[in-house]
Amino acid sequence: MSQEEERESDIRESTNEENNDQRYTQVDNDVAYNPIEGYQEAKEEEKKENEGENPEKENVNKTDTSILNTKKETKKLKVILLGEIGVGKSSLINRYINNKFSSFTQSSIGDDVKTKKVEVDQNLRVDLLIHDPTNEEKLGKFTKNYYLDAHGAMIVYDLTNEKSFQKVKYWMEELNSNAPSDTVFCILGNKSDLTADRVVKFEDVKALAGDNLNYEASAKSGSNVNLAFEQLTYAIVEKQKEEENNPDKVLRGKEGRKTQDLNDINKDAANKAKKCC
């Protein structure tokens, strides 16, 4: 046996037999050290971590658990699109939902409803149910069921078509007559990418829209499409918050809109939506 092996053997015997009550010796910084088990302090720390006794680790775990357990409120909001045939209503929906554009949109049979999830804030998620009016246009009119329970509406016109803009007032009146009185709406001019062909003046649109939401967008390029839909969503949420504390709130349903004017209803909601982003 070499001298080194003999020395290690003596240490083991001394530790296990002669100093059984004092197995640890003092080294630098008063850290207890055992020749066989190593540093006591390190062993104790490792034991605490394995048993979940580390306070800092517990705090991290608690924080992670609270985040995972936080559940957002989810609301379903119905949004309808109004406007003349050919202004690009279906194309706007396709751009917003799928981020795609096609110059030819195939008509569908039956209710055509697309869903988009919108994260309003850390506590609220909205399932936006967007109703494509393709089937209504096939019937030659917009039925009362289409307006029923609508929370929001997008009135669309074509920036290159003066006649489609002149019909916006008609669609505002139709919405006022058939939709619930707390329905929030936005006026949206489509085809903003066709700048050379534009015939509708911005000043005329602003005068008609007043304090209501008003945007120009392009289903082809995608410009302002997300913005318009999301600002409409925020305005609806703001309107609902106001209605929750209103003792004279209007019941939603088949009775639809009877007494209030759209401009008065949307004024505050539109202003708040503009300020939020």
d(Cα 229, Cα 222) in Å, to the nearest integer?
12
DSSP annotation of 16:
I
Residue 91: name the closest of 78, 80, 79, 105 by CA.
Answer: 105
Q: By CB neighbour count within 10 A (0-12 exposed, 13-18 middle, 19+ buried), where does 154 fall?
A: buried
For the chain, what is the domain count?
A: 2
Q: Is 252 inside any structural domain? A: yes
Residue 170: name the closest of 142, 203, 130 by CA.
Answer: 142
Residue 164 has pLDDT above 70, yes or no: yes
Give the pLDDT confidence score for residue 262 in this predicted structure. Answer: 46
- Residues 153, 89 within the same domain: yes
The predicted-structure confidence for 104-148, as pLDDT tens digits, reads as follows 655 444 448 999 999 998 899 999 999 988 877 776 778 888 999
Q: Is 20 inside any structural domain? A: no
- Residues 58, 80 within the same domain: no
Residue 99: left if φ>0, alpha if ψ -120 to 50, beta else—which one?
left
- Of 70, 89, 104, at which residue does a domain stop? 70
d(Cα 114, Cα 102) in Å, to the nearest integer?
17
**Number of other residues whose CB lies within 10 A of the CB of residue 191:** 25
Residue 47 has pLDDT above 80, yes or no: no
